[in-house]
Chains A and B, each alone.
Chain A
Amino acid sequence: MAPDTTAGPAATRAVPGGAGVAGNPLGRFLRWDVLVGVLLVVVFLGGAGLSPGFATVGNLSFALGDLGEIALIALAMTMLVVAAEVDLSVASVLGLSSALVGALWDAGWAIETIIPLVVVVGAVCGLVNGLLVTRLGLPSLAVTIGTLALYRGLAYVVLGDRAVAEYPQQFTDLAVGHVPGTPIPYPVMLFVLLAAATAVLLHATGFGRSLFAMGAQEEAAYFAGVRVKRVKLILFVLSGTVAAFAGVVYTLRYGSARADNGVGLELAVIAAVLLGGVDFDGGKGTLGGVIAGVLLIGLLRNLLMLNDVSTEIQSIVTGLLLIVSVLTPRLVSAFRRRGRPPLTVPTS
C-alpha cells in the first residue's frame, strides 16, 4: 500500500521543469498524493464511526473486490500517464476480452486455453495502439478514442447481443472467492502483487525513471538516451494486456460475458489516476498516490451508498473531488512560486 514515494520526486527533480519541493521540509506533506492518503484515512475512520455496516470485513472485502478491475488497469494507466500518454481504449479491450471469453466458452473451448488467448489478444490491441502512436506519431488521446470505438465494435461482432453465463465454479471462485483463511478476494491479492511489482518498476528502476523523464520532456529524454518509442510501445502493450486480463476477471466475477461489459470504465480508471496526483501532462506522480486514489473513490462510493445517498450526489461528489485534485497542486505550486525567481519552464 505504501510503495517507495521518494523515488518519484527524486526522478522528477532530475529533470528540467519538474517542480522541486525538496528544499521545503513541509513540502513532502503538502504533496497531493500524500493528502489523498490522508483523505483516505479520514474517509475510512469517518465511515467506521458513522456507518455500522461500513468497516465490517464482509463489506470491505466486497468493496475492494468490486474495485479489482479498475485497480488492475490503473497500474498500467499510471505508467502511461506518467510518460505523458493515455489509453482510453482499456474498457473496450476489457469488453472485447469478455466477449471473446463468452464466445469461445460457448463454442466449447477449454477455459485454460481461452484465458491466455484473450490476454494475448489484449496485448495485440495494445500493440496496435502503440504502433499507431509511436510509428505514425499520432497523439495517443486521438488514437485510443478511435480504438475505444473500434474494440467495442469488435466485441459486438464477436458476441453480438448475447450474454454467455455458466462458467465452471473453480474459475468463478477465483474471481469472487477469498484467499483461504483470509477475507481477501483473489483479485485483490493479485492486485497487491502486481502493484508491488509496478511500484518497483516505476520508482526503483531505470525503466521507471525513463518514464518520468519522457513525461517531463520527451526530447530531453530522447537525447539522454531513452529509447522513447520502444518504451511507449511496451507501455501500450502492457496496458492492453492488463485490460484484457481484467476482462477475464470481470467476466468470471459477474459470471456473465457481454459485449457491453465495463462500458465507461476507462473514465473511472483515469479519474483514480488523476485523483492520485499523477499529472496529466506527464512527469509527475506516484503509484502510492494512485492506489490511494482508487481506494478513495471506491470506499467513498461504498460509504455514500450505505448511507442511501443518491447516485446523482455520488457522481457530484466524485466529480468535485477530481476537480479539486487537479486544481490544488497547481494552486499550491503557483503559490510557492511567488517571491521566488521563476523556474525555467521548458517549452515542449
Chain B
Amino acid sequence: MMTSSRRLAPAAALAGLLCLGLAACGGGTTKDSASAAPSAAVSSAAPAAADPNAPIKEGLKIAFLPKAINNPYETIVDKAGIEAAAEYKGEAKEVGPSDASASSQVSYINTLTQQGQDAILIAANDANAVCGPLKQAMAKGIKVVSYDSDAAKDCRDLFINQASSEEVGRSQVKLMSELVGGKGEIAILSATANATNQNTWIEFMKDELTKPEYKDLKLVKVAYGDDDDQKSFQETQGLLQAYPGLKGIISPTTVGISAAARYISGTDYKGEVALTGLGTPNQMRQFVKDGTVEKFALWNPKDLGYLASYAAAALVSGQITGAEGETLKAGKLGERTIGKDGEIILGPPFTFDKDNIDEFDF
C-alpha cells in the first residue's frame, strides 16, 4: 500500500511550483506606487510630417474588426467602409468574433497583424484589453483607427466618433423630456456594462439631468441588455415590473431599443411608457408606425464606415498623421478636422420620426 506522504508528495510539488511562481514577485506594488512610477514612454520617434497632397495609395489592405460580426448595425458600418475602399482602389474586408468579447477580438488583432494589413479599424469591446495587441500592430507600422467604440488613446491613431458623445448624451435626455412632458421616472437600457461609448453617453445623460429644467425627471435604473436581443427584451420586462411608475426608457443601443420596442408594443405599456434612444430606421419602422416609439435618434452608420475607411487610407498614405488640427479629405463627405486626442467627429445626431423615417433604408 502507498503511504499517505507518497500520495501527497506530487500534489505538494505542484502546489510548490505555483508558490515558486508567486514568490518570484517580492516587494509591494500597489495602484498608488505603480502610478507614481514614471510610465514607460510610449511615444516612439516623432511621426513623419503629414503631406496633405499625397495621393491615396492603391491596393491598400484594410480590415474592419467590429465588436461582433452578427451585429446588424456594425455590418452596415463595415459594408459602407468596404465600399468606400473600392472608391480608392483598396482591398477591405470585415472579420471578427461571433461573441462581443474582448478576448476574441485580441486573437483577431494578432491575426490581422500577421496578415500584414495596412490598417486595422476596430470597434473595441474593452478599451484596455485590446490595447496591448494594438500597440504591437502599430509597432509593425500598421495604422489603427477605432470607430463606434474607442480603444485607449495611446493604442490607436484616430478615433472616428459617430457624433460628439456629449451631444448624443444630452440630446437623448432632451428627446425623452419632450416625450414625457419633463416629468417622471425614467430608466436606461444599455448594451454591455463595459461598452465604452454607451458609458460615455450615459455619463453625459446623467450630467444633463442635473440641469434645473430636468429636475422633475428621475433616473431610477441603468439596466444592461448586453446587446443581446433576448436579454434586452427580458431587462425591459424587468424594468417595467420593478418600477410601475416608469414613464420612459432611453436605450442608446440599436439592439436594446428594438427589443424594448418589441416588448412594449405587445403590452398595455404601449402609449403609456415612452421609448427613445438610438436605433436604425429599418428596425424601428414598424414601431414608429404603430405608435410605440414617437422619435429616436442616430447618425448615418454608412457615413461612419465611409469616413473611417477614408481616415485609414489617408493615414496609411501619409496625408494625415493623426495630429490635432490636420484636415482629413473624406471623399463625398467633404472635409473633417482632427480634434483633440485624435478624434474626428462625424456630425450631429439625427432624429427620426414618422414623417421622415421612410426616407431612410438601412
**Chain A residues with a Cβ under 8 A of chain B:** 53-54, 56, 58-59, 62-63, 66, 105-106, 108-113, 115-116, 119, 160-163, 165-172, 174, 176, 190, 193-194, 197-198, 200-201, 205-208, 210, 225, 227, 231, 234, 238, 241-242, 245, 250, 254-256, 258, 260-264, 301-302, 305-306, 308, 310-312, 315
Does the CB pair A113–B28 fall under 8 Å?
yes
Contact A254 B106 (CB under 8 A): yes
Residues of A within 8 Å of B126, CB to CB, are 163, 254, 256, 258
- Cβ of A112 and Cβ of B26 under 8 Å apart? yes
Cross-chain pair count, CB within 8 angstroms? 158
Verify B14–A254 contact, CB threshold 8 A.
no
Query: Is there contact, CB below 8 Å, between A111 and B29?
Result: yes
**How far apart sit A242 and B319, CA to CA, in the bound complex (Å)?**
50
Provide the residues of chain A in CB contact with B98, threshold 8 Å: 311-312, 315
Q: Are B69 and A190 in contact (CB under 8 A)?
A: no
Q: What distance in Å separates the Cβ of A177 from its nearest Cβ neighbour in chain B?
A: 10
Bound-state CA distance A248–B310 (Å) is 40
Chain A CB within 8 A of B35 CB: yes
Q: Determine whether the beta carbon of A255 is less than 8 Å from that of B129.
A: yes
Structural contact, A197 and B128, CB atoms closer than 8 A: no
If the complex has contacts A59-B110, A256-B126, A258-B126, are A197 and B17 also in contact, measured as CB distance less than 8 A? yes
- Chain A residues within 8 Å of B8, by CB: 207, 234
| In the complex with contacts A170-B29, A315-B98, A163-B10 CB distance below 8 A | no
Q: State which of A169, A206, A241 has its C-beta within 8 Å of the C-beta of B40.
A: A169
Contact B22 A308 (CB under 8 A): no
- Which residues of chain B are within 8 angstroms of A190 by Cβ–Cβ distance? 21
- B residues in contact with A306, CB < 8 Å: 111, 114-115
Within B71-96, the residues touching A (CB, 8 Å) are 93, 95-96
Set B30, B106, B107, B128: member contacting A111, Cβ < 8 A: B30
Shortest beta-carbon distance, B149 to chain A, in Å?
13
Which residue of chain B has the shortest Cβ distance to A156 in the bound complex?
B193
Q: Given the known inter-chain contacts A168-B34, A201-B14, please indicate yes or no for A66 contacting B128, CB distance below 8 A.
A: no
Whose C-beta in chain B lies nearest to the C-beta of A265?
Answer: B103
With A210-B7, A305-B111, A311-B97 as contacts: A225 and B1 at CB distance below 8 Å = yes
Residue of B nearest to A253 (CB): B132
Chain B interface residues (CB < 8 Å from chain A): 1-2, 6-11, 13-15, 17-19, 21-22, 25-32, 34-35, 37, 39-40, 69, 93, 95-99, 101-103, 106-108, 110-111, 113-116, 126-129, 131-132, 193-194, 224
* A-chain residues with CB within 8 Å of residue B18 when the two chains form the complex: 119, 194, 241-242, 245
- Which secondary structure dominates chain A's binding surface? helix
Given A119-B22, A161-B193, A258-B194, are A171 and B7 neighbors across the interface (CB < 8 Å)?
no
Contact A200 B10 (CB under 8 A): yes
- In the bound complex, CA of A165 to CA of B127 (Å): 9
Residues of B within 8 A of A261 (CB): 103
Contact between A105 and B27, CB atoms less than 8 A apart:
no
The answer to whether A109 and B116 have CB atoms under 8 Å apart is: no
Find the B residue at minimum CB distance from A301.
B107
CB <8 Å contact, B29 and A112: yes
Chain B proximity of A287: nearest CB distance (Å): 13
Are A161 and B224 in contact (CB-based, < 8 A)? yes
* Complex CA distance for A108 and B131, rounded to whole angstroms: 23
- A302 touches which of B9, B10, B111, B129 (Cβ 8 Å): B111
Please give, as numbers and ranges, the residues of chain A lying within 8 Å of B132 by CB-CB distance. Answer: 172, 176, 254-255
Contact assessment for B194 and A56 in the assembled complex, using a CB-CB cutoff below 8 Å: no
* Across-interface contacts of B99 in A (CB, < 8 A): 264
Contact B102 A62 (CB under 8 A): no
Output the least CB separation between B21 and chain A (Å): 6
> Quick check: B103 and A254 within 8 Å, CB to CB?
yes
Distance of A236 Cα from B235 Cα, bound (Å): 36
Q: Which are the 6 A-B pairs with shortest beta-carbon distances?
A: A161-B193, A165-B128, A53-B114, A110-B28, A201-B10, A168-B34
Distance (whole angstroms) from the CB of A339 to the closest CB of chain B: 39
Contact B101 A109 (CB under 8 A): no
Inter-chain contacts of B22 with A (CB < 8 A): 115-116, 119
Complexed CA–CA distance, A276 and B107 (Å): 23
Closest to A69 in B: B103
What is the CA–CA distance of A187 and B341 in the complex, to the nearest angstrom? 34
Contacting residues, chain B, for A255 (C-beta < 8 A): 128-129, 131-132
